[in-house]
Structure 1
Amino acid sequence: MEKTVADHYISLNTDTPIWNQFFTVGPLIVVGTKEGDHYDLAPKHMATPIGLSNYFGFVCTPNHATYHNVKATREFAISFPLPDQIVLSSLSASPRCGERSDEKQIISSLPTVKATSVDALFLEDSYLYLECNLFKIIDGFDNDSIITGKVITAFVKSNYHRDPEGDDQDMINNNPLLAYIANGRFASISETFNFPFPKGFER
């Protein structure tokens, strides 16, 4: 006899977005782009490697400058912030929907470093930097799009670089990772466990 969904599950109404009715875990990144004669930064949490090669993508809306900046310049930079950079990451969202000079001044006041092979900024002291050329923009997810890029240059902080001879848990314990708990919370991850892959598993 096949099992059915248990009584302690709640059926969600899919006529409206479901994502605010529970929590999910994902990364928090800051996307850097060139906007006219200045630069823009924008935090994103719907972001992921695309496959096992050097491709990376994130969700963005055409209502935000990031979308149009990437479409115009065909490049972008990705910063993976540290847990203690959560406020800086949040502040980078200030100019998302406006052009006021005080909002743009916030970006110029944030600690940033210049990317090396694309014309964009990183959030300074993030643990991972990716420099990407635009690969493809996929529109049509209602008001959202997926922006994908080919990683052409990457840098990782030395203490976040995995050592094949080292202990992964010790490394993460000493160098926590930032996670975004959608929607509206975040976590510092310092304890992890080996995943129980089945015998003979290969990617």
Structure 2
Amino acid sequence: MTIQIKRGDNYNQESLIGTVNELFYTAFKEKFVYKLFSEEMTIRISSLFSEYICKNKPNLLIIAEIDENIMGCAFMINHKESYYDFKYLIKKQLSLKNRIKLFLFFSFFSHKVTKEELYIEFLSVLPHYRNKGVGQKLINACKNQAMDKKLTLYVAMDNVPALRLYKKEQFQTVKTESSRIGKFFTGIKEWEFMEWWAIE
């Protein structure tokens, strides 16, 4: 099984949206539907966010595929990125109530990126392809793109497989954060903020 890694801007953006939507939905469904959104609204939000990153940020989207079948992706942001276009998009598509809930949701997962870092917003692999080295390939691609910057991410402390993978890839825990409010709305109380630096 040969895993190929490509950047999102190597694809037709329209054709990429559906698969990225599936990957984003796979990664965030349980958090979205825990308290804040119905499954139907979660599908809608996932579709909007996937459309946004595929059309506006494909250069920061890393894709893993086998035999031209996409099975994983990672999305990164730097300090210059903003979600202005996404906010404009959802303003046209979602009710005020759902926009407020969405901003509340993202507040639990937001991170202010510095000039010295590249931040992994999310990394997702389809369930059938997990434990096959896809996540590792995606992380290595993110490392290559980080160059002289540090690579950072948040991971839920109860996500043991992900924690094990990041530690294997030399990510170090910088701090642990806990939120009762986050637990109430997303089902996740504790997170680790991790970083990786290239070894000279």
Provide TM-score, normalisation by structure 1. Answer: 0.22
Choose between structure 1 and 2: higher helix proportion: 2
Q: Pick the structure with greater CA Rg.
A: 1
The answer to which structure has the higher strand fraction is 1
